[in-house]
Every structure is written in C-alpha cells, then in structure tokens.
Amino acid sequence: MNSEVLQVQQSLGIVGKSPLLGQAISAAINAAPFDVNVLVVGENGSGKEVFHKILHNYSRRRMKKCIPVNCAALPDGTINSELFGHVKGAFTGATADRKGFFEEADGGTIFLDEVGELPLDTQARLLRVLETGEYLRMGSNEVRKTDVRVVAATNRDLLKAIADGKFREDLFYRLSTITIKVPALRERPEDIHLLFRKFASDASYRYNVPAISVDDSARLMLLAYQWPGNVRQLLHLVEELSIVQMERVITADILKQHLPTFESRISVSDDPHSSENGFGPGEKKMLYNLIMNMQQQIEELRQHIGMAPRNTQAQPHTPHVLTAPETPADIDEQEAEEVPMTPVNPPSLKKKDMERDAIEQALRNHGGNKRKAAEEVGISERTMHRKIKEYGLDKKY
C-alpha cells in the first residue's frame, strides 16, 4: 500500500493489509477531489460506511457538513420529510417548518446508506435533486436549491432490483458515476487475524478483562470460515468470547461453539458431480487447509534449524475492517506486521495425492472417526465417505 493509503487508514482507524482493501481506499482517495456521485457496494458488515468519510475528508467540501442517513431505518411515511423537509401543516404533527437532510447538507456531502431500500416515489425525488439540484419540501410548491455531493451505499444487487421493478435505472446511473467495491472479509484472509487482535485489544480495554488470543487450530478455522456477517460478525464474536470465555487462549473447539453452524457456512455442494475449475465439492477448502498446515510445518522447521522465517505477503483469492476504533489498539509494530503465510502449492505433489494424504492424516488423527475427520479437513461427512471409497481407504478405515 502507498503512503497516502496508509495515512488514511491511520487517520480513520482502518485495519487491514489486503491489496483489495488498499485498492478500494485508493479509489476513494482518487475520486474524492472530483465532485461526482459515488456508489459504494459490498456485503453487510464489510465496512462500506467508512468510505463516505474518505470521500468527504479529501474533497473541497470537507469544511462543510457530512450527513449520514440510514435509508433503511427511515419509516416510509416520513422518509420524504426527513430527506427534503416539510412546511407547517403538511401532515398531522407538522407543527412547524422543518429542514430536511438535503437542505442541512447544502455545500457538503450526504451519505445515503442502504439506498436500495428507498421507495420508488422517494427515488423520483432523489433523481430530481441529482439532475437539477432542486427539491420541494413536503406540503410546499416552492422550489428550493441545494448543492450536495451524494455518496450512496448498498448491499443489494441494484441491477436485479431494476429488473424486478424495485429500483429506477436512471437513478442507478446517476448514483454510480464511480463505483467502489468493498471486499468481503473472506476475500481478505490476511486481515482476519489482524482484526481479531485489534478487536481483542479493544474489548480488553473496554471491559477490563485480559485480551484473548487464538492458537494455531483456531487461527486456521478463522481463515476457513466464510464470515457471512463479515467484519461486523468478527467484531461481535470477539466481544462475546472476551466476555463469556474463561480461557484466554481460544482453541478451535471453543471457537466452533460460537460460530453459527460451521459446516453450513462453507459454500460447497455435496453434489458428487459438481466442480469448479476442476475441483470437486469441498476440495478447494480441504486443499487450502492442508497447504496451510504444510506451510506452517515448513516454517517451524526453518526456525528449528536456525533459518529466519520468510517474510511473505499474502495475495488475494479474487479480483471495514474497516473499523474506527473507540480506543487505541494495544498492538506492537512487529505483531501488526504479521500476516498469515501465503499457501504455495508444492510442485512435487499432485492434487489427488494431496487430497488423499489430507484425508488419511485426518482419519489417523481421529482414530478412523469419519465425522471428526471430515470436520478437520472442512468437508461434509457425506463427501468424506465418498472420498474414502474413491481413494481406496475404505479397507483401512
């Protein structure tokens, strides 16, 4: 990451070393000086909300207001009043004129979080503001002007919403002059442990308890888990563990008790005929776990014989958090530089040999217990039975 990206991360408390995260931050920095609308897309809990701060703080509007609005939290009956204001008597309870968010943010930035939840009539009003800068207060015929920059965010597929008639196509193109994709946590594996440590340090300070940590088995489980709730889920998990667990070193067995149905969160199918890029169901995750174990053993061996560990940078799996801390993180520089090792396929091993070795080792580890062995390599018990038969291990186990 370049120095400007690092400076932004430090100023806003953004944790992460992922190249995908760096690309998203860099895109926001580059877009900030240009007075165009920006659409931030990403899954729930991925940290989309921090990007409007980058876009505002690095723009010419930074001395004016930046108003965040959660569109999903505004009731349908009052949403137009909240956004555009109303005049006295516009509806029952309107006892005085009231400014809306667009009037309050004049000259600055307005952040429309969950913009995909806006009703269609509000979308039409928003489109007019984006096209002409004009709007009407509820109950008034007086045209007002505002000069705001709109940053919108959504976790919805807006193109699908357009096809379903739930979102205006013209509004979509007005909002998405520039689109910034915020990576999901599973796409930033090198950041998972850094975030865990950051959240553990914050929880330790906030609740006055010793900071928790993870052993190697739990760390591998953190990497293998799909994190459907992204960074927000990891934050809540760490806080829960910090409060309810007596043990301060978290193992895989402890972690599994607090992760919702570990197996069901792995996005693989048990269909024996399914495949992706030549990999059968569960094979990619199983191979990843095996390679991580092999890489760890190699590093331990290097240290044992006196060789310095390699300083590798993890690469992304595909093309927040992002989090603004409440308290300073108690993490020293050396540990903050630590990232999970990059798995490298040993050229001397074929995929099927690696699969067979991983399954056989897991079966040995658990005395032939197929259910526990399946859990170790990260596949379903049904897939484990099929693989045992496929590799001729059914005679042994």
Rounded alpha-carbon distances, angstroms, from residue 328 to 205, 229, 319, 331 = 9, 24, 32, 9
d(CA 213, CA 264): 25
Q: What percent of the chain has pLDDT over 70?
A: 76
Q: Over range 220-226, report the average pLDDT.
A: 91
Is pLDDT of 274 > 50? no
List, in order of start, the domains of the chain with CATH numbers: 19-182 (3.40.50.300), 187-390 (1.10.8.60)
Is pLDDT of 143 > 90? yes
d(CA 158, CA 174): 13
pLDDT at 149: 97
pLDDT at 75: 86
pLDDT at 300: 62
pLDDT at 266: 40
Q: Over range 184-201, report the average pLDDT.
A: 96
d(CA 204, CA 330): 9
Tell me the average pLDDT of the chain. Answer: 82
pLDDT at 328: 40
Is pLDDT of 271 > 50? no
pLDDT at 318: 37
The two three-digit tokens of residue 113, written as one number: 């979080």
pLDDT in tens, 334-382: 444 443 433 334 333 455 677 787 788 778 777 788 887 777 776 777 7
Is pLDDT of 168 > 60? yes
pLDDT at 267: 40
The region of weakest confidence among 21-25, 111-115, 282-286 is: 282-286
What lies within 8 Å, CB to CB, of 44 at 6+ separation is: 155, 229, 230, 232
Q: Over range 189-218, report the average pLDDT.
A: 95
Is pLDDT of 276 > 60? no
- The values of phi and psi at residue 98, to 5°, are -140, 135
pLDDT at 346: 39
CB atoms within 10 A of CB 362: 23
| 222 against 350, higher pLDDT | 222
pLDDT in tens, 47-88: 999 999 999 999 999 999 999 999 999 988 889 999 999 999
The region of weakest confidence among 101-115, 180-194, 212-226, 319-333 is: 319-333
The two three-digit tokens of residue 259, written as one number: 């992760």
Q: Over range 158-171, report the average pLDDT.
A: 96
Torsion angle, alpha carbons of 109, 113, 118, 121, to 10: 0
Is pLDDT of 32 > 80? yes
| Buried/exposed 332-343: b ≥16 CB within 10 Å, e otherwise | eeeeeeebbbeb
pTM for the whole thing?
A: 0.67
Rounded alpha-carbon distances, angstroms, from residue 18 to 21, 108, 380 = 5, 31, 30
